[in-house]
Structures are given as C-alpha cells and as structure tokens.
Structure 1
C-alpha cells in the first residue's frame, strides 16, 4: 500500500489551515459520501415511494440534483463497494461477489447441480489499489470511515489499512452479527458496544456527527456507510408502530403482495421452487429502518449547518445494490423495475443517487445522465480540485460537468460482470448498457436478452430475436471488455447432467 505524500499535500494543508471563516469560498469543500445497503431505486419518497418516508433525503434532493440512471457496479454488495474505493470495475480488481460468497457455503451442492461453476476471486481488496481515501489524504483531507466496510475477509485490509485516518465500525462483517444485531451488543471489533438498547443506526449517525465536530476546522472526507437496510430486519418499536398504523390506514393488506414467475423456475440452478417477487412496498419493519437511516442523515445535515459547513460540503447518497425483492423475506418492491438484489435486471443494479453541494448548479433538478459507481472517484477529485489519477480510476469518468448543468456528457458504455450464483435466485451473468439499450448475457447457457430501456424500463420485451444485429454488436463489445479487464469467467461443470423428460 502506497503511503507517500507529496509536497503538494503539505502545501495544501498549509493553505487549508490559513483559511478564516469569512473566506469560506477559498476553503476546499468537505465531502460526505453516504452509502445505504440493499436500498432499492424506489425506496425514497423523492423516487416515488408512498409508504416509506425519507423527508431529509427528499429535502437534499430538492436542494441538489437527483439521478434517474445511476448504477451500482454489481447487483451485490462487496464488488460495488470496491468499485467505489478504487474507481475500477469489480471484474478488473477480481472482487466479483460478496465476501465470502454463496459458493463457500454450498460448494458440494453446486458441484452436483449447477451447469457452470463460479471462478475464484479476491476475498480482500488488494492493498496495491490507491483508494479514494488515499487520494483525498494525499490532497490534505482528513479521511474517516464510519459504518459498514465489507471489502475484505481479513483484518489486515480494514479501512485504516486502505487510507482512512479513522475507522469506526468498518470490518469484514457484511451485516450486523452481534448478539443484538442492530441493537447493542454489536460484537464489532471496530465499534465498542453501546448501552443496552442502543440502535446501531443511531450510533453510527452520532459517530459521524462527532467526527464533523472534531474536524470542523480542516477539510474532511467521510465515507458514511450504513448497514441499513440489510437483513436481519430490525427497527425501533416506536417507528414500527407508526408504520403499522400507516399500513392499516392505507389498507395495504388488501393488495396482492407478490407475483409468481413459474417460467423462471426451469432456469434456476437449484432445486425448483416457485420464484416470487414482491410488488408492493408494505413491510413495516423495513419502512421503520429506512426512517431511522433518514433521521440520522438529517442529524448529520443539522450538524453541518450548526458548524457553518453545510454550504461547503459535498454530500452524495447512493445504495450498493438493488432492493431485496425475491428472497430472504423479500423486504421491498422495485417496481417498475424488474428483479432486485442478486439479479442483472434493473432492479438489481439501478440505484437512487443524490448529490448536493458546491459544484452543483441549481436546486431540485433531475438528470437522466447514465453513471456508475466507478465514476465517483474521479468526480470527487475534480469537485475538490485535486488532480485526477487516471492510472487508478481508469474505469471511472467524472460527471462533474453534469453537476454543473453542462450538456453533452457521455460516459460511454457501462459494463457489469457477475459470474456467481447469488442468494436471491439470479444467474451468473454479465451486461452492457450502451445508450438506451441493454444486453444481458447469461453465463450458464449463453442466452442473451436485449432491452430498450427508454421504452421498456421493466425489461418485459426481449428484443434479441427482433434485432439480432444489434444484440450481436453489443455482445461483441461486452466480450471484448471482458478480455480487456481480464475478467474471470465461470467454467463448465463436468458433473452437471441436465435432466431429460
């Protein structure tokens, strides 16, 4: 891991320290990057939810810009998180599944019944990667991580080993695993247990507020990663009661909650069971969890205002993958998007994304610019006036021009590579979005599907047979990208023998 800091860094620090409160316009902007876990595209009020309540995020959107075509680099957690930290596609870094992945627990079964077997991948984000934290630190920023990390399996790869001066709660845990899960005790090696009954989300919000207060006189970069709304679903009783009453008022019990996909069963690699997808947002505990996260984001914003830092702080809010809609309780609905976490359909990869702060022109506007999570690294560097590191974030493209209201941004094609079997019923697959068209290639049997997202956001009308030339063109481009990044592919399972009727 590189730990060298240039004379530029020292001069930046000297400059930052000389800025007085009445010269705030010369002070480099602070950055708070907020990442939710398993939050769906439709899970915020400003994105259309009528059941969940997110007043603070909705207000942030009214004061900044909201993206409708923002994507995570993977339909599951760890790869997306690595893409944010490195500015590189998961396929290039070879962290392509959540850590340690389903194969670690079901290897014997998968070797018997799956047509392809997943490739090996890195369980730790390599120390050789120059992370966004290292780049910000080199530029004179205090770097702080609060909350979930899940970019590693081993403790030698925690945030403090990847460029963060402060690490609060970041470890190898993909979800709360303490005796109290979302309530203390947390049994987290990087987060001391709180008093009995303390709620993890409140604790993380308080820790972020404390860091803002302690670092108010210097530029800071805070990577604020909530565990919300990952399972197990647990919330505070008073908020559960509130949403239960709302559930009753809205008569949500009268609506059909799930749709069934019997045609999908034959394509699943595991013993067949009816594939179901939630189509109504009605889970009261999930709603309460979202409310707690939003409440703590409000707490963070209030502290920025109290310290006179709000107008000079860039705030970005995103989710690491789509909402959980097809398994493990199916907590939310992503409609009109198809599928959810673990799927290559839009419900698994399209995310809510809001940006506020200096460098954002105007208030309350919406953009359909296509961006992905590899793009955050170069964008943050440009917005803070720090030099780009193109040799590092070579898969990212700055969208700072979009935030300025400029026309003509085109980041080019976006790619996904997920050669694994997820917990949620999806299949090993890859995808490319080029313009309005998206092609999905399934690695287990070579099938492709093609959709025009400008006309078919729900991916209901497969155009692969109607437009074979376009499908082949996108497949060729995708396959070339796989070669360019040296993506590890699944291999044919010699023990697999499809049943014959």
Structure 2
C-alpha cells in the first residue's frame, strides 16, 4: 500500500469506515441531512497519484438513487459512496445517448470530433463508427504512465475487427461491444451473442450485472499494489427489463430475437416499476462488492472513485423535478447522478452545485495521475483538481451539447435550448424543470449563448445529411 499523506490522514478520518459500515450509516434521507457545502482540504501536500475506479451506469435517471431523492429504490452502497465524498447536483453527461457520452469520457473531447461520435448511438459494425486505435484515450495515456488498465461491461464505441477496448489502451476487457444485450443469454439485437473476453467471443449465462461486478471486485483484489484504472460499465438499468431471477423473461425475449422479431430488446411490452427497482438495486449491490474489495485490500484511501450515468433515465426512471428523458437535451436527458470519493484528498458528506460534464472527469483523472494529455488531441474537458484539492474557484466554462434534433449550451445559471429550430432560454437556478421561457425577456443573454454555441459547433464534424433547422424568427426578433 502506498504511503498516506497528511491530507490523506485528515480526509480519511473524516470519510468514515468501510463500505459496509457506510452503507448502514448513510440512507437516503440521512446522507442528505448530514451533507455540507463542498470545501477543499487546503494547506496540505498533494496526495500520491491514485488508483482510478470509474463506475458508469446506463440510462440511470436523475433521482433513481436514495441520495438523489428516490423513495422506492434502496441504494445503500451508492448512498454510502456519496456519504464518503462529494455529491454533485449539477453533473451532466456529454450527450443524452450512450455512445457519444462514452466517446467523451474515453477521449476527453466533444463526441463530434470523431465520425463515430455522431452516431446516436452506434448500432451496426462499420469501420468509421468507433474510437480509432491510434486516438489517445484515458486508458492509453494512463497505461503509458505505468497504470494497469481494465474494463468490465459495456464498451459501445465500435465493433470488431476495427475497434475494441484492447485496441484503445485497456489491458483487460470482459464485456459487450454493442449497446444492449439480454441480461442472461447476452444476445443482441443483431441476433448474436455479444460477449467478449479481450477480443475473443465467450459465453456466460449468469446475470450480467452480477458477473461484471464480480469481475471488477476480482480485479481489485488481484491488483492491490496499483496504480490502476478500472472502468466498470454496467448495462443496468438499460432495457431489456430483467431483474435477477427473471430467467423466464430472458428465455422468451431471446427466442423472439432469434426468430427475427425486430425491437424485442427495447421490451416495450414488459417491465414494471418493481422490476426497475430490482435492476437498480442489483447494480447497487454490485457496487458494494467492489467497494468492499477496495476496503479489504487497503486501497480505499488511495482510490479515486467516480460514479455517473451515460445519460438520463428512460420510461421507468424517476426524474423529478427535471423534464425530459434519454435522447433529449432537456435536463432529464443529460443531468445525471454524479458522485466522487477520494478519501486521501476529499472530505466526506459534501455536496457541490458546480456544473460538470463527462469530459471534465477525463481531464481531472489525468491531472490527478500526473499525466499530460496528448498535444495532438487537446482536451475539451476542464480539470477540477484545483477546485477539489486546493480550494480554487471551479473552472468557468460553457457546457455544450448537440444532437441531430437539438442544441443546448449552459453558462452559469442560464441554459440555451433549441429543439427542432424552436429556441428557448431558462434560468436553471429557479427553474430546473425548464418551464419558463425567458428568451423574450433576456434577448442579450439568448444571443450571447447562441453565438457561443455556434462558435463551438464550427470546430466539430457536421452530421451527415445536416442537423437541426435554423432558429425560428421570433427568437431572433427578440433583439
């Protein structure tokens, strides 16, 4: 185990006990009741470079965790993770869909800088649609600095033979290459089993959430001398709607896929609030296994853990008070639960309202590890290290999004939104539900945010076939 700095001793003592103890101590209401505004531990030396565990949920809604307000889903381990670190109330995914957000996380750049990042999401094998093996990634950069790298779970950044995690810097990979698979059979919408060990097809009939959690926990136990990067990418709670034990549901859906029926895995004729609850709770239990492995191997203090979702929730998610959902640029489609814990550096039971987005975590992790980004591929994310460790102001930068149908940009409290050409302006401090359109009342702010969006967009690849219509006349006439 690496040495513990004075900062680590202080913050570690504040962080509390082991994962299991924290889970008991911090329930939904209790964690929030004890939270305090974020404040960095200043005046001490920087901690050593950490292990990095990045846990990514799939289609998890804004309020699907106890620490974010869920009343029906019990998530003691994720609540404990929040209780042991910092819970962000303005955490965002880089896109409202799977693949683009993953592009942003792995490259630290806007999804629109690569052709594959324009796919929303990647659904079929294509030599254009993926992260090129020569492109620097979080894994390749850390690997070059001596980190052992592993990914368990969903990749969704391109298919073989052109793309895979092991081509992009991960030493170890076990998981699915595409977007969705059956939780037991691992069949995909393409009627093939989408499960790989490295780049070799493999099989497993166990419940997928449990399997990738056990793999991740095993990796932690086997690599207790660090440093390492571990990406744990759940497919939970993405459809199909199968909780642990729903073997008969899996058999039915698998048979329908194999018979050639289209759209089966979207599972529009299945699911329930209770099934969804059990799926999220299974993911939470899996997180608990990995946190337990960290604690029992003495690595908890020196491991930077980040938890987030690749986009907002879908049909069974709880998003109140946000509007919109997955695939939309309303808050419900992009604002996601975001938790950070690093006992050697951060106090426990804190909450931050600083707006952060996926690619900011890439920049943050690289700086924490003392690794410079590639000069040939400058990052679009902004590191939070000075804010988290030194008490500096959080980096002030505009958060930018685009899809084929919509555009958005957030600056401070203001959000510019354009859906199919219709513009609106929202004050997210007073109206996170985005119901009051202030475009006519604040035309100067609208125009500035629109101009900034267009400035960023000019540097990105255009969508094939064009994008959204130009803004409608009333918004421009607001000048």
TM range (shorter): 0.7 to 0.9
Is residue 2:369 matched to residue 1:384?
yes
Q: Is the 8 A contact 1:29 1:358 kept in 2?
A: no
Aligned equivalents of 2:141, 2:328: Cα separation in 1: 32
* Post-superposition offset of 1:57: 0.6
Change over 3 Å in CA distance of 1:121–1:66 after alignment to 2:
farther
Aligned equivalents of 1:433, 1:393: Cα separation in 2: 21
Quote the residue 1:438 is aligned against. 415
Aligned equivalents of 1:390, 1:398: Cα separation in 2: 16
Quote the residue 1:156 is aligned against. 162
Q: Is the 8 A contact 1:182 1:199 kept in 2?
A: no
Q: Deviations 1:426-458 (Å, cap 9, x if unpaired)?
A: xx011110111101123x4x2211101011000
Quote the residue 1:275 is aligned against. none
Quote the residue 1:97 is aligned against. 119
Quote the residue 1:322 is aligned against. 312
Is residue 2:210 matched to residue 1:189?
no
Change over 3 Å in CA distance of 1:359–1:93 after alignment to 2:
farther
Aligned equivalents of 2:183, 2:369: Cα separation in 1: 38
Aligned equivalents of 1:22, 1:394: Cα separation in 2: 29
Change over 3 Å in CA distance of 1:388–1:355 after alignment to 2:
same
**Structure 1, 21-30 or 84-93: larger mean CA deviation:** 21-30
Structure 1 vs Structure 2 CA RMSD: 2.7
Is residue 2:145 matched to residue 1:139?
yes
Is residue 2:231 matched to residue 1:223?
yes
**Structure 1, 387-396 or 311-320: larger mean CA deviation:** 387-396
* Post-superposition offset of 1:394: 2.1
Q: Secondary structure at 1:462's aligned position in 2?
A: coil
**1:400 corresponds to which of 360, 385, 391:** 385
* Post-superposition offset of 1:469: 2.3
Aligned equivalents of 2:194, 2:90: Cα separation in 1: 37
Q: Is the 8 A contact 1:146 1:225 kept in 2?
A: yes
Change over 3 Å in CA distance of 1:482–1:166 after alignment to 2:
same
Q: Secondary structure at 1:366's aligned position in 2?
A: strand
**1:303 corresponds to which of 278, 290, 293:** 293
Please list, as runs of the form range in 1=range in 2, the aligned pairs for 1:333-372 lying within 5 A after superposition.
Answer: 333-358=318-343, 360-372=345-357
Is residue 2:407 matched to residue 1:417?
no
**1:476 corresponds to which of 451, 455, 467:** 451
* Post-superposition offset of 1:333: 2.5
Q: Deviations 1:384-419 (Å, cap 9, x if unpaired)?
A: 222344543420100112322614213311100111
* Post-superposition offset of 1:193: 2.6
TM-score (norm 1): 0.74
Quote the residue 1:33 is aligned against. 54
Change over 3 Å in CA distance of 1:182–1:68 after alignment to 2:
farther
Please list, as runs of the form range in 1=range in 2, the aligned pairs for 1:448-463 lying within 5 A after superposition.
Answer: 448-463=423-438
* Post-superposition offset of 1:126: 2.3
Q: Secondary structure at 1:485's aligned position in 2?
A: coil
Quote the residue 1:49 is aligned against. 70
Aligned equivalents of 2:396, 2:301: Cα separation in 1: 28
Aligned equivalents of 1:59, 1:373: Cα separation in 2: 22
Q: Is the 8 A contact 2:153 2:235 kept in 1?
A: yes
Aligned equivalents of 2:395, 2:323: Cα separation in 1: 25
Q: Is the 8 A contact 1:371 1:411 kept in 2?
A: no
Is residue 2:274 matched to residue 1:284?
yes
Aligned length: 397
Aligned equivalents of 2:376, 2:360: Cα separation in 1: 14
Change over 3 Å in CA distance of 1:222–1:450 after alignment to 2:
same
Q: Secondary structure at 1:376's aligned position in 2?
A: helix
Q: Is the 8 A contact 1:96 1:417 kept in 2?
A: no
Aligned equivalents of 1:493, 1:431: Cα separation in 2: 12
Change over 3 Å in CA distance of 1:23–1:73 after alignment to 2:
closer
Please list, as runs of the form range in 1=range in 2, the aligned pairs for 1:3-22 lying within 5 A after superposition.
Answer: 21=1
Aligned equivalents of 2:187, 2:465: Cα separation in 1: 36
Q: Is the 8 A contact 1:177 1:187 kept in 2?
A: no
Is residue 2:180 matched to residue 1:175?
yes
Quote the residue 2:360 is aligned against. 375
Q: Is the 8 A contact 1:158 1:170 kept in 2?
A: no
**2:133 corresponds to which of 122, 127, 149:** 127
Return 5+ residue gaps in structure 1 as ranges: 1-20, 105-119, 239-280, 325-329, 420-427, 495-501
Change over 3 Å in CA distance of 1:182–1:332 after alignment to 2:
farther
Aligned equivalents of 1:467, 1:227: Cα separation in 2: 41
Aligned equivalents of 2:104, 2:203: Cα separation in 1: 30
Aligned equivalents of 1:298, 1:454: Cα separation in 2: 33
Q: Secondary structure at 1:217's aligned position in 2?
A: coil
* Post-superposition offset of 1:199: 1.0
